[in-house]
Amino acid sequence: MIPVTKTFLPSQEEYNSYLKRAWDKAWLTNRGELTLELEEKLKNFLNVSNLIITNNGTIPIQIALKLFGKGGEIITTPFSYVATSAAIVWENCTPVFVDIHPDYLTIDETKIESAITPKTTAILATHVFGNPCHVVEIERIAKKYNLKVIYDAAHCFGVQYNNQSVFNFGDVSTCSFHATKIFHTGEGGAMFCNDKETYHQLFYSHNFGHNGPLAFHGLGINAKISELQAAMGLAVFPHLSSIFAERKKVVDFYNENLNFDTIRSLKIRENTEWNYSYYAVIFDSEDTLLKILDALAKENIIPRRYFYPSLNTIEYTKGDKMPISESIASRILCLPLYVGISTADLEKIVRTINTQTL
């Protein structure tokens, strides 16, 4: 089988060397030395000021919404993983969808202002497949209407926009360190911010609200990562250069060999240093996509309809029609992309798609 992705795994010896440090100290959670070391390494690598590692990539969104959503309306995108919308509803806020740009697939910033009401408290936008939103315009709108900006940057590890980390934009940015991501801790995530007061709020919120062992700053939840997860992150970290390089080779192969007469790929926003996180292709119709899926399945190739369905169509979001998102969601497919995929497998994928689209 050729899956859509495979987890990058360091050697067991590398992982065990970090586990031994945790075992020797008998300290497995509550921000031990491995967690602290990993945070410092990531801050330096990503060139960010404030970073808190968490136990998954969804809970940072929930914490940001708890702090800034205040039960109001959250302007958001219908084209994202379900966690984005689910977090809004879970935190007792109301998602208000704005359609997407047909090329970049991120929220259409020109449609945001018309969706703002007196109940709007924040904008929650997704950098789709690591492709940044129009962050400058979103910041202008947010300042004009005194709104908070939260970015679901789950796919953005290593992405640079306008010569700085994409995590530096917005009031809070979040990332996923899930096993399928470029950098991972098995299961995990992180939240980023520039403001010291926001960092203070995020920090105590992710640790039950603690202010020392016996006092509390305020309401909190348990979003702490374990030392076992941090060990995986530390073992993966030294391989990042080769991970990016290998993924770029796969993307370059697709770009050079797919037949783009009847399909198109994601358009990366200008001034972006992309991270090769996903390879998405958009077909002319859902019928074509389904035909391609069937042909790939016969070759034991398993891509993914990512993101499908458009989130405004899910029962609990009760969203308005989003014509562009619904159309794209019905026609987009993410192709296999991971370290170690062979040239022969890539040739089989491309040959199967090209044969069906001639």
Q: What is the CATH number of the domain that holds 253?
A: 3.90.1150.10
DSSP state of 169: S
Residues 137 and 18 in one domain: yes
What residue has token string 């001034």?
Answer: 271
> Of 183, 208, 238, which residue constitutes the final position of a domain?
238
SS (H, E, C) 17-54: HHHHHHHHHCCCCCCCHHHHHHHHHHHHHHCCCEEEEE
Alpha helices in the chain (DSSP H): 12-25, 33-46, 59-68, 82-90, 135-145, 196-205, 227-236, 240-257, 286-298, 323-331, 343-357
What does the pLDDT read at residue 357? Answer: 80
Per-residue CA distances from 345 to 28, 45, 254, 332, 355 (Å): 40, 32, 12, 21, 15
Residues 217 and 350 in one domain: no
Residue 193's domain is classified under what CATH number?
3.40.640.10
Q: Is residue 253 a contact partner of residue 346, using CB atoms and an 8 Å limit? A: yes
Q: Is residue 80 a contact partner of residue 152, using CB atoms and an 8 Å limit? A: yes
Q: What is the pLDDT along the chain (358 residues), one digit of tens a residue?
A: 999 999 999 999 999 999 999 999 999 999 999 999 999 999 999 999 999 999 999 999 999 999 999 999 999 999 999 999 999 999 999 999 999 999 999 999 999 999 999 999 999 999 999 999 999 999 999 999 999 999 999 999 999 999 999 999 999 999 999 999 999 999 999 999 999 999 999 999 999 999 988 999 999 999 999 999 999 999 999 999 999 999 999 999 999 999 999 899 999 999 999 999 999 999 999 999 999 999 999 999 999 999 999 999 999 998 999 999 999 999 999 999 999 999 999 999 999 999 998 7
Of 99, 115, 166, nearest to 321 (Cα)? 99
Give the span between the Cα atoms of 316 and 175, in whole angstroms.
24
* 2 class by beta-carbon count within 10 Å (0-12 exposed, 13-18 middle, 19+ buried): buried
Residues 261 and 305 in one domain: yes
Of 300, 299, 358, 310, nearest to 332 (Cα)? 310
What does the pLDDT read at residue 101? Answer: 98
Give the span between the Cα atoms of 172 and 194, in whole angstroms.
8
**Structural domains of the chain, count:** 2
Per-residue CA distances from 85 to 48, 129, 134 (Å): 27, 17, 20
276's torsion region: left (phi>0), alpha (psi -120 to 50) or beta? left
Residues 165 and 27 in one domain: yes
Residues 308 and 331 in one domain: yes
CA angle 62, 64, 66 (to 5 degrees): 65
Question: Which amino acid, 129?
Answer: F
> Of 187, 218, 238, which residue constitutes the final position of a domain?
238
Encode 148-157: b = buried (16+ Cβ within 10 Å), e = exposed. bbbbbbbbbb
Residues 218 and 339 in one domain: no
What SS3 class is residue 97? strand
Residues 182 and 154 in one domain: yes
Residues 190 and 53 in one domain: yes
CB atoms within 10 A of CB 47: 11
Residues 62 and 208 in one domain: yes
Residues 202 and 314 in one domain: no
> Of 179, 206, 238, which residue constitutes the final position of a domain?
238
Q: Is residue 128 a contact partner of residue 155, using CB atoms and an 8 Å limit? A: yes
Give the span between the Cα atoms of 148 and 60, in whole angstroms.
15
Residues 121 and 218 in one domain: yes
**β partners of residue 152:** 126, 174
Tell me the residue range of the domain where 311 lies.
Answer: 240-357
| Cβ within 8 Å of residue 131, ≥6 positions away | 104, 105, 106, 266, 267, 268, 269, 272, 274
Q: Is residue 175 a contact partner of residue 190, using CB atoms and an 8 Å limit? A: yes
Residues 245 and 286 in one domain: yes
CB atoms within 10 A of CB 255: 11
Give the span between the Cα atoms of 1 and 276, in whole angstroms.
22
Of 177, 157, 339, nearest to 242 (Cα)? 339
Give the span between the Cα atoms of 130 and 155, in whole angstroms.
5
